Amino acid sequence: MTPEPSARPPEDRGPESGAPEPSAAASAAPAASTVQAGAPVGQAVGEPARALPLPLQYRRFTRLNRVQHVVMIVSFMTLALTGLTLKFSYTGWARVLSRMFGGFESAGYVHRVGAILLIITFATHITDLVLRKSRDYGSWAKLIFGPDTMMFTRRDLSEFVGSILWFLGKAPRPRYGRWTYWEKFDYFAVFWGMMVIGSTGLVLWFPVLFTTVFPGWMINIATIIHSDEALLAVGFIFTVHFFNTHLRPEKFPMDLVIFTGQMPIREFREDKPGEFEDLVRTGRLESRLVEAYPPIVIRTIRAFAWTALTVGTLIVLWIIYAMVFAYR
Ligand code: HEM
């Protein structure tokens, strides 16, 4: 996990909690050295030096969100690589990859480990939703239909139309709020995919158990659904999701916000002006400000993100190659 910069507010409660949090600037940690001439205003020569505070940024995601996303990336990549190795076992690429996993049989075992990780991540998300419902919202109705809802609303429809007009140069960029329509779409794509891939995967994993209740041909159906939904999920995540998040002009070549959890205030104001104005109007912006991470942390995160982007893109190219030249 990435180290947290000093002077960060507690992240156990999500940004939606509305809990009062100390200002990052106010609680900057003291450094060990002694102040030299030319020290920042307010520090006398000879006094213990305080580290120059890093610029403040807007905190968009909680620590739990970030950890979940990283675990999801690792498990999903593992599942995709091992699953596709089994699916395209007759291609040269699959034979090379299977050796990496210790053979086709152990690729199946690694697949199951990835599945356990993904199911745990999904379970922690559902648990988090239940806890936040009680703690921050009071009722499911307020969580599901509140202003920061993940559900599609009329505003999403008008922002979708507004975006098309903006692409055509006929209207200004919509003033997006906390979640844009494409972020909601990505979220539900994963939610739906989890249900379909997870349930059929469990049927493949425990065929004897499931066939005590269901007829045997269910196993064949489950294999087809699991296998095809896997192609859909991989294709969607590594093209549409990558494009929406990293490759759109405002973010190109990469948006690190899901890994750092935070973004520069100027970028936040330009990207989500609706949310920015709402936080300023209700006086909640300051409680969401935290210090930026030092460059070394950002470089480490960037290396991980580039690896994930590259592996994902290679998987898509492999699928296209296998479907066009080798599909059986
Ligand atoms: C909770 C999630 C999952 C579970 C429980 C699960 C379980 C399984 C099991 C038990 C198999 C059979 C493996 C074997 O024969 O040794 C399998 C095959 C496969 N899985 Fe998964 N899986 C899950 C998620 C995924 C995901 C996310 C992907 C792709 C992104 C995926 C892609 C595949 C593919 C392509 C196959 C091969 C199907 C075929 O033979 O045509 N799986 N899965």
Which residue, chain included where needed, has tokens 């499911």? 140
pLDDT at 8: 43
- Pocket of ligand 1, candidates 76, 81, 86, 90: which has the most ligand atoms within 8 Å of its Cβ, to mutate? 86
- Counting from 1 in the atom list of ligand 1, the atom nearest the Cα of 237 is 30
Q: Is 59 in the pocket of ligand 1 (CB under 6 A)?
A: no
* Distance of CA 114 from the midpoint of ligand 1 (Å): 9
Rounded-to-integer distance, Cα 167 and Cα 176, Å:
15
Between the CA of 157 and the centroid of ligand 1 the distance, in Å, is 35
Q: Is 86 in the pocket of ligand 1 (CB under 6 A)?
A: yes
Give the distance between the most distant pair of CA atoms in the chain. 82
Instruction: Please determine, for residue 38, whether its predicted confidence score (pLDDT) is greater than 70.
Output: no
What's the pLDDT at 203? 98
**CB neighbour burial string for 86-99, b if at least 16 within 10 angstroms, e if fewer:** bbbeebebbeebbe
Among protein residues, the one whose CA lies closest to atom 19 of ligand 1 = 83
**CA dist., res. 216 & res. 233, Å (int):** 26
Residue nearest to atom 25 of ligand 1 (CA): 79
CA neighbor of 6 nearest in space, from 43, 47, 54, 40: 54
Residue nearest atom 36 of ligand 1, based on CA coordinates? 83
From ligand 1's centre to the CA of 256, what distance in Å? 29
Q: Which residues contact 49 (CB under 8 A, 6 or more apart)?
A: 30, 31, 33, 34, 35, 36, 39, 43
pLDDT greater than 70 at residue 307: yes
Average of per-residue pLDDT across 80-98: 95
Instruction: Give the per-residue pLDDT at 147.
Output: 87
Determine which of 10-14, 217-221, 281-285 has the lowest per-residue pLDDT on average: 10-14
Question: Cα separation of 201 and 196, whole Å?
Answer: 8
Atom of ligand 1 nearest to the CA of 75: 27
For the chain, which residues make up each domain, given as ranges?
60-146+180-260+293-326
Q: HSE, CB side, 13 Å, CA atoms: give it for residue 303.
A: 6
In the structure encoding, which two tokens stand for residue 314, read together? 């290679």
Cβ–Cβ under 8 Å, residues 195 and 203: no
Q: What is the arithmetic mean of pLDDT over 232-261?
A: 94
Pairwise CA distance, residues 280 & 264, whole Å? 16
From atom 7 of ligand 1, which residue's Cα is the shortest distance away? 201
Task: Say if ligand 1 is within 6 A of residue 19 CB.
Answer: no
Indicate the SS3 state at residue 262: strand
Lowest mean pLDDT: which of 42-51, 155-164, 312-321? 42-51
Q: What's the pTM?
A: 0.83
Q: Say if ligand 1 is within 6 A of residue 197 CB.
A: yes
pLDDT at 37: 35
Torsion sign across C-alpha atoms 56, 57, 59, 63: negative
Asked if 259 and 2 count as a contact pair (C-beta separation under 8 A), the reply is: yes
For the four alpha carbons of 182, 16, 259 and 29, in that order, the dihedral sign comes to positive
pLDDT classification of 21: cutoffs 50, 70, 90: very low
CA distances from 194 to 35, 198, 201, 204, 253 (A): 55, 5, 10, 15, 28
